[in-house]
Amino acid sequence: MPTTGVPRGTSARGQQRRQALLEAAAELIIEDGFSAVSHRGIAQRAELPLAATTYYFASLDDLLEQALRHLAASWLDQARSRLAQLPAHLNGQRRLAEAVLLVAIATPDGDERDAGQDGLALYERYLEAGRRPHLRTVVAAYNHEVDLMLREVLRRGGLPHDVRTARLLLAQVDGAMLRALAEGVDPVPVALAAVTDLVRLLSR
């Protein structure tokens, strides 16, 4: 269903333009943060006129919500493809911890990145959703999917794979990452150490 009562952008070209705007918005969210995204910024990034942003989307809120949905979907896609590449049995706490990070952190190009600014967007979604109720369902659905994947990782590691444990893992990753990002430390090693500790506790 379209964003307004009036049909907008139903043609092939229209859908292309919508998509271009959403991707531009997603990039800006990652680079500059949620609150720094504007109609004009999106239009410039997508190389489209300003008015295109108001033609295809009812409001900036609407655009941002759909952009977040787009982001979450691509994050999930990546996490799923990473999970698919993992072996059926994860031996060793270190290997298990690495697998947890692979599905819990959706960095753009794998773990080679230092995730300087990019990681922030991953967590800004929490804040933004807390403030804007209509984003909550998006985040809740995303987190639920991550829970499921983490349970699968736990299962492959021979650990208890109930929901509580999965949530424990995700919260640990989020908390450790966020702290490292805030303190200007490389977040991935910090999160890896934290998750390794937690995995060690779980396998006692």
Binding footprint of its own copies on the chain (CB under 8 A): 33, 35, 117, 119-120, 123-127, 129-131, 133, 136, 139-140, 143, 164-165, 167-168, 170-176, 178-179, 181-184, 193-194, 197-198, 201-202, 204
Tokens coding 71:
């982001």
46 vs 146 by CB, closer to its own copies: 146
Q: Which amino acid is at 162?
A: D
- Please list, in sequence order, all residues whose beta carbon lies within 8 angstroms of the beta carbon of residue 46, skipping any fewer than 6 positions away: 17, 20, 21, 23, 24, 52
Q: How far is the CB of 13 from its own copies (least distance, A)?
A: 35
* CB-CB contact of 100 with 150 (8 Å): yes
Query: CA–CA separation, 111 vs 113, rounded Å?
Result: 5
Each residue 17-36 as x (binds DNA by CB under 7 A) or -, in order, gives x-------------------
Residue 160 found at the interface with DNA (CB under 7 A): no
Q: How far is the CB of 138 from DNA (least distance, A)?
A: 19
Q: How far is the CB of 31 from DNA (least distance, A)?
A: 13
* CB-CB contact of 56 with 122 (8 Å): no
Query: CA–CA separation, 67 vs 50, rounded Å?
Result: 17
Residue 108 found at the interface with DNA (CB under 7 A): no
Please choose which of DNA, its own copies, none residue 140 contacts, taking the beta carbon within 5 to 8 angstroms, the exact cut-off set by kind: its own copies
Residue 9 found at the interface with DNA (CB under 7 A): yes
Please choose which of its own copies, DNA, none residue 139 contacts, taking the beta carbon within 5 to 8 angstroms, the exact cut-off set by kind: its own copies
**From 40-48, 76-84, 94-102, 124-132, span contacting DNA (CB under 7 A):** 40-48
Query: CA–CA separation, 156 vs 44, rounded Å?
Result: 46
Helix segments in 86-186, DSSP class H: 93-104, 118-131, 136-156, 163-183
* CB-CB contact of 40 with 50 (8 Å): yes
Residue 14 found at the interface with DNA (CB under 7 A): yes
Contacts with DNA by CB under 7 A lie at 6-11, 13-14, 17, 37-41, 48-55, 59-61
